[in-house]
Chains A and B, each alone.
Chain A
Amino acid sequence: MGRNQLYILLALLSAAALGWLGYSFAFTTFSTANDFSPCLFKSTTGLPCPACGSTRSLMTLLQGHWQEALFWNPLGFLLFAFLLIVPIWILRDLFVRSDSLFRFYTLTEKTLQKRVVSIPLIALLVANWIWNIVKNN
């Protein structure tokens, strides 16, 4: 994947995420029974996926309740950092004609592929998923 493709993909992802966040602020009631879930995994299997709850996490985080955000899904913090940094980084790279984000992405990918990094992260994700299922997110 080239630089431009990555930037288009990341920009689309950020835009979609912000749009979805805006929609959620208008309609989410924080009850699993009433809310519309866009997650295909959840609607087909009935079990929450590893990322289920991150919308609620982001919303509570933006309202300042970080403990509640941690409860809904700790991955929300990661997404918050992503949404805060990536759009600005893309704009910066476009203006100064740099590819620093692309190089950072490739470097991160290489790091994550190392066994010492990937195995603990996978364990954490699985633990988070089990927690997600137990609390029925």
Chain B
Amino acid sequence: MEANKVDMFILANGKFFESHQLQMIRERLLSLDDSKWAVIQTLQFKDPTTSIIVSILAGSLGIDRFMIGDTGLGIGKLLTCGGLGIWALVDWFLIMDATREKNLAKLQTMLY
């Protein structure tokens, strides 16, 4: 893929991924076939900022985990009152990176 297209993608979507992964994403995209560009451009990513807000407001009900697609963990939090509050608290610190990882996993289904 052309470098300017890749840079455009990184510029628009960089905040959805962990910074140390951006270099790898860039290289993968550069070596990717041009026909995939349309699909990759339409991918919707979850915003880490949204998930931390949801986590703070409704984390003890597991809504944050449901939102990023960790349904099993969401049920776990829901049925234990947010892990007696402890799990909900720990997730305030984990949820942003978890969201970024989910985004990478989503992009990777397109990359390989």
B61 at the interface (CB under 8 A from A): yes
- Interface size of A in residues (CB-CB distance below 8 Å): 25
Q: Which A residues touch B60, using CB under 8 A?
A: 40-41, 49
Contact assessment for B85 and A49 in the assembled complex, using a CB-CB cutoff below 8 Å: no
Contact assessment for A49 and B71 in the assembled complex, using a CB-CB cutoff below 8 Å: no
Q: Which of A1, A78, A108 meets B79, CB within 8 Å?
A: A78
| Bound: A49/B69 CA distance, A | 22
Q: Which B residues touch A51, using CB under 8 A?
A: 78-81
A-B contact count (CB 8 A): 53
| Bound: A38/B81 CA distance, A | 8
| Interface residues on chain B, size class | 10 to 19
Q: Which B residues touch A109, using CB under 8 A?
A: 70-72
B88 at the interface (CB under 8 A from A): yes
Contact assessment for B81 and A52 in the assembled complex, using a CB-CB cutoff below 8 Å: yes
Contact assessment for B76 and A13 in the assembled complex, using a CB-CB cutoff below 8 Å: yes
Q: Report B45-86 CB contacts with A as 1/0, cut-off 8 Å.
A: 000000000000000110000000111110110111111110
Query: Which of B71, B78, B79 counts the most A-chain CB atoms under 10 A from its CB?
Result: B79
Q: Which A residues touch B83, using CB under 8 A?
A: 13
A75 at the interface (CB under 8 A from B): yes
Q: Which of B70, B72, B84 meets A38, CB within 8 Å?
A: B84
**Cβ contacts A to B, 19 pairs, < 8 Å:** A1-B73, A13-B76, A38-B84, A38-B85, A40-B81, A40-B82, A40-B84, A40-B85, A40-B88, A41-B61, A41-B82, A41-B85, A51-B79, A51-B80, A54-B79, A78-B79, A105-B72, A112-B71, A125-B78
